[in-house]
């Protein structure tokens, strides 16, 4: 199973192709659109979310709401393209307008201009933009339905915003209620404090980041491999998370905290009572690069959004003069969007791993093969 995406932030549409989905997977389009809407939600979002109302349009590979076994192609149209057609049209446009040469710190602007031999950062930022994640959320929702058919589920919540942290532990079943909260936080007092801080940052022209926890429940043991470094499950999932814009750190299980503890306090003891089990899950569900049957626990650190309304010191790429970075339309905080995106990329990466092990041309075969695993 493989996903490839294309599209620019202000182009005609974002597109994706999923190769390798088995036939007879029932597709719930309303559920895909629900996750697309969740990606656009959250306290601290900017003006772009008022323009776009993301919805998937499936172009091929599905008939009567069931996959055919052929590649599934889909798109999400950019409503804002109508406002950018004169500057972005692939058929021809005026590229002298809406240029960006005041390269923004924390973005791909400067490095991308040099790498791709450009003079306008617009040719870089349009693809580097987090707008690209909409198509990954759509793909993730489709693959979420594939995994749910096996009894594997993915969820998550926001643990902290700009240092205001919720240190409590929650069951997997409690996590879904976070989606109804303005910041996807489960501690009401912490969430209120974080919202007040976001208001302050907005007044100051500043931005916020935070931390997110993603969990996977129902995955049996043995997915991933210890036999080759590139097939280790934690490497694959952490790589997927790090592919998301603004993510600067990932933990599995105890993560960095494990470095401060003795081995006897870290490693999960193994017991047997009709089946093997562990009473703790410090490993985060992955040992030796393979799932061990416990919940997979992943955490990610999102940096503050690098587009600041107050502007940061930088240099104009053309004139080399010291200037203040231009402010593209942006958010103060996009931590909720990031949470949905992280759920989605973990789902895509995990579905690829599961598909590689199980194979199967149709969902009946896939379910039967998964059922036989211990």
pLDDT at residue 326, as a whole number: 74
% residues pLDDT > 90 (the chain): 92
CA pair distance 282, 13, nearest whole angstrom:
42
**Contact by Cβ (8 Å): 12, 77:** yes
pLDDT band (50, 70, 90) for residue 51 = low
Do residues 143 and 42 lie in contact, with contact meaning Cβ atoms separated by under 8 Å?
no
Q: Quick one: pLDDT at residue 328? A: 55
Closest CA to 291 of 214, 215, 224, 370: 224
Q: Give the DSSP letter of residue 224.
A: B
Class of residue 298 by CB neighbours under 10 A (exposed 0-12, middle 13-18, buried 19+): buried
- The pLDDT, as a whole number, for residue 307 is 83
Please give the residue range of the domain that contains residue 129. Answer: 2-372
Is the model's pLDDT at 361 over the cut of 80?
Answer: yes
Using pLDDT thresholds of 50, 70 and 90, give the confidence band for residue 49.
low
Between CA 280 and CA 290 the distance in angstroms is: 17
Distance, CA of 241 to CA of 211 (rounded, Å)? 12
Q: What is the pLDDT of residue 85?
A: 96
pTM for this structure? 0.95
Q: How many domains does the chain have?
A: 1
Relative to beta strand 313-315, strand 296-302 is unpaired
Could you write out the DSSP letters of every residue in 135-157? HHHHHHHHHHHHHHTTT-EEEEE
- Whole-number Å distance between alpha carbons of 265 and 24: 46
d(CA 330, CA 246): 13
Residue 4, helix vs strand vs coil:
strand
Contact predicate 360/208, CB 8 Å: no
- Can you give the pLDDT at residue 45? 81
- Structure token digits, residue 68: 């055919």
Closest listed residue to residue 3, CA positions, set 23, 13, 18: 18
Residue given tokens 């410090």 in the structure block: 282
| pLDDT for residue 309 | 79
Cα–Cα distance, 230 to 226 (Å, whole number): 9
Mean pLDDT of the chain: 95
Run of H or E including 323: strand 322-324
Task: Read off the pLDDT of each residue in 181-201 and give the average, rounded to a whole number.
Answer: 96
The dihedral of CA 42, 46, 50, 53: what is its sign? negative
| 327 pLDDT above the threshold of 80 | no
Neighbours of 6 (CB within 10 A): 14
Phi–psi pair at 288, nearest 5 degrees: 65, 25
Among 114, 47, 102, 129, which Cα is nearest to 312's?
Answer: 102
CA distance 169 to 215: 12
Indicate whether 330 pLDDT > 80: no
Cβ-Cβ contacts under 8 Å for 348 (sequence gap 6 or more): 3, 136, 139, 140, 143, 240
Domain with 207 in it: what CATH number?
3.60.150.10
- Residue 330 forms beta bridges with which residues? none
pLDDT greater than 70 at residue 47: no
pLDDT in tens, 79-126: 999 999 999 999 999 999 899 999 999 999 999 999 999 999 999 999
Is 50's pLDDT higher than 70?
Answer: no
86: three-class secondary structure by DSSP:
helix
pLDDT at 329: 57
- CA pair distance 22, 150, nearest whole angstrom: 13
CB contact at 8 A, 214 and 222: no
Please compute the mean of the pLDDT values over residues 344-348 and round it to a whole number: 98
Q: Over the stretch 216-265, which tens digit does the pLDDT of each residue have?
A: 999 999 999 999 999 999 999 999 999 999 999 999 999 999 999 999 99
Residue 48 in this model has a pLDDT that exceeds 60: no
pLDDT of the residue at 331: 87
pLDDT for 156 equals: 98
Query: Tell me, what's the pLDDT at 374?
Result: 82
Phi, psi (rounded to 5 degrees) for 6: -150, 165
Direct distance between the N- and C-terminal alpha carbons of the chain, in angstroms, rounded to an integer: 23
């Amino acid at each position: 199973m493989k996903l490839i995406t294309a599209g620019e932030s202000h182009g005609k549409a974002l597109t994706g192709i999923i190769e390798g989905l088995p036939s007879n997977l029932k597709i719930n389009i309303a559920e895909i659109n629900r996750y697309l809407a969740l990606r656009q939600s959250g306290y601290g979002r900017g003006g772009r979310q008022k323009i776009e109302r993301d919805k998937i349009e499936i172009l091929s590979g599905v008939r009567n709401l069931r996959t055919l076994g052929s590649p599934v192609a889909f798109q999400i149209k950019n409503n804002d393209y109508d406002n950018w057609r004169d500057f972005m049209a692939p058929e021809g446009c005026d590229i002298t307008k809406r240029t960006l040469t005041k390269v923004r710190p924390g973005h791909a602007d400067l490095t991308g201009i040099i790498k791709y031999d450009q003079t306008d950062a617009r040719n870089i930022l349009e693809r580097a933009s987090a707008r690209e994640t909409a198509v990954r959320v759509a793909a993730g929702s489709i693959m979420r339905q594939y995994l749910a058919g096996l009894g594997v589920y993915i969820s998550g919540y926001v643990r902290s915003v700009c240092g205001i942290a919720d240190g409590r532990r929650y069951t997997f079943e409690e996590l879904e209620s976070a989606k109804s909260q303005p910041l996807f936080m489960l501690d009401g007092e912490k969430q209120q404090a974080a919202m007040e801080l976001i208001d302050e940052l907005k007044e100051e022209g500043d931005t916020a980041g935070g931390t997110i926890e993603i969990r996977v429940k129902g995955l049996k043991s043995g997915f991933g491999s210890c036999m080759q470094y590139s097939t280790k499950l934690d490497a694959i999932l952490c790589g997927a998370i790090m592919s998301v814009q603004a993510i600067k750190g990932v933990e599995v299980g105890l993560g960095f905290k494990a470095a401060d503890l003795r081995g006897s306090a870290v490693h999960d003891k193994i017991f047997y009572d009709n089946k093997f089990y562990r009473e703790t899950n410090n490993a985060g569900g992955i040992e030796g690069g393979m799932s061990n049957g416990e919940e997979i626990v992943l955490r990610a650190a999102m940096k503050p959004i690098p587009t600041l309304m107050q502007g940061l010191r930088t240099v104009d790429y053309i004139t080399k003069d010291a200037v203040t970075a231009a402010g593209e339309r942006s958010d103060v905080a996009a931590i909720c969007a990031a949470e949905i995106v992280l759920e989605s990329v973990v789902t895509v990466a995990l579905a690829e791993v599961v598909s590689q092990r199980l194979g199967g041309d149709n969902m009946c075969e896939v379910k039967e093969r998964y059922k036989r695993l211990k």
